[in-house]
A = this chain, B = another copy of it.
Amino acid sequence: MSQMISGGVCAAQGFRAAGLHVGVKTHATWKKDVALIVSDAPCTAAAMFTKNVVKAAPIHVTMDHLAKGGVRAIIANSGNANACAPHGEENAEKMCAAAAKAIGCASEDVLVASTGVIGQTLNVKVIEDGVPELYGLLEHSDEASDAAAHAIMTTDTVKKEFAIEVFIGGQTVHIGGIAKGSGMIHPNMGTMLCFLTTDCAISQEMLTEALHEVVRMTFNRISVDGDTSTNDTCCILANGLAGNPVIAEKNDRYVDFVMALHEVCYLLARSMAKDGEGAKHLITCTVRGAASEEQAETISKSVISSTLTKAAIFGCDANWGRVLCAMGYSGEKFDPEKVDVSFASEAGEILVCQAGRGLSFDEELAKKILTEDEVDIDITMAEGDESCTCWGCDITYDYIKINGDYRT
């Protein structure tokens, strides 16, 4: 039994949050650019980072602080990625120190993340100067989570914030999160930040395990543009205040926790793909009848990452040949003569390719289906019984516009 609730990162007991404009974003003084999330009690924490060889400074600092255990807070800024930038780690440490001083904890108890332009020196002074005011704004409320969610946005057009309530071991447990991510998103986490909080009592080991399991099936299955960023961070803090028996092994309660965490991350990931830079369509690609989940995932990712397929969906053009083509260059072996492809949306469903060959279909209906905001590409193969779903978006004139001149 679980239900979606409001409150985002403040849904769980003992978590407060705030967001504020301090001046990292110099061109948009009305946009918040620093977020702070604080737990009243020490947390177990787990995190996953970009696989990009070029990692931003805050990732190195966060890795270091995580290794020392006992996390109390996360500080994050938007407007500057603090990646490949002079004094990167020094400035990331300064952000932690400023937050720690306000909270009254050790610098090592604070995690840090940044997102924005790469290669420019972070104006850490404005963050340090702003932290006391930011700290003063901390609240355990819907509004506070909303402010934090806005403070980590870059080219995002909507905030990403979800929370869930679930009964675990007789206690009500909350899991909530905020995320940002719009461009530079690709399987293995593109420029996305995701901060999750829970009052569940769970061991470090099980929390880490749960995060890996869920990220693999959610954030690692979305793609906006095939670019994997330098700054991706997904972390979860668990302060145990729900009072449930501590989850320390893979029992039924662990499964309940993973399912609830999956629900939150699934919604955050999906909303990221839907808000892909310039996107007009959310594309959900499901591959069924694959020999393995890995095969289904590789093929599904290849389809949602295909620039030509993305352009066709933008044009509401049922050009299924590009879907088959993207399956073919995925690197997976399969029999193309046993592939069916359908397009579907709220407007209906239409089979366009059967046994690897084009069908003559109702072009008017196809156009109507693809004109909806959310469209599905459903692929059936005859290799086995496994399946996988990945999420992406179309490529539009606005994507080019947003990214043709992002720095200024």
**Interface residue ranges, A against B (CB under 8 Å):** 51-55, 81, 83-86, 117-121, 183-184, 186, 188, 225-230, 305-308, 311-312, 314-315, 317, 319-322, 324-330, 332-334, 336, 353, 356-358, 395-397, 399-401, 403-408
Contact = CB atoms under 8 A, between A and B. Distances in A.
A249 to B, nearest CB: 36
Contacts of A321: 81, 83-84, 117-119, 230
B85 A357 contact: yes
B406 A317 contact: yes
Contacts of A54: 324-325, 327-328, 336, 356
The winner among A320, A400, A407 for most chain B CB atoms within 10 A is: A400
A225 B308 contact: yes
A50 to B, nearest CB: 8
A315 B403 contact: yes
Contacts of A332: 53
Among A83, A119, A322, max chain B CB count under 10 A is at: A119
A227 B407 CA distance: 28
A188 B328 CA distance: 13
Nearest to A399: B311
B52 A329 contact: yes
A329 B228 contact: yes
A122 B230 CA distance: 47
B328 A119 contact: no
Contacts of A81: 321
Nearest to A117: B321
Given A54-B336, A357-B86, A397-B397, A118 B322 contact: yes
A91 to B, nearest CB: 13
A357 to B, nearest CB: 6
B406 A312 contact: yes
A227 B405 contact: no
6 contacts: A52-B329, A84-B324, A121-B358, A228-B328, A229-B325, A230-B321
Nearest to A359: B119
A286 to B, nearest CB: 19
B405 A324 contact: no
A319 to B, nearest CB: 6
A352 to B, nearest CB: 8
Given A53-B336, A328-B52, A358-B120, A322 B227 contact: yes
A227 B303 CA distance: 10
Nearest to A408: B317
Contacts of A86: 357-358
A100 B52 CA distance: 54
Nearest to A188: B329
A119 B358 CA distance: 5
Contact of A84 (B226, B228, B336): B336
Contact of A315 (B226, B227, B405): B405
Given A53-B330, A119-B358, A226-B306, 10 more contacts: A55-B328, A84-B357, A84-B358, A86-B357, A118-B324, A119-B321, A225-B307, A312-B406, A315-B403, A397-B397
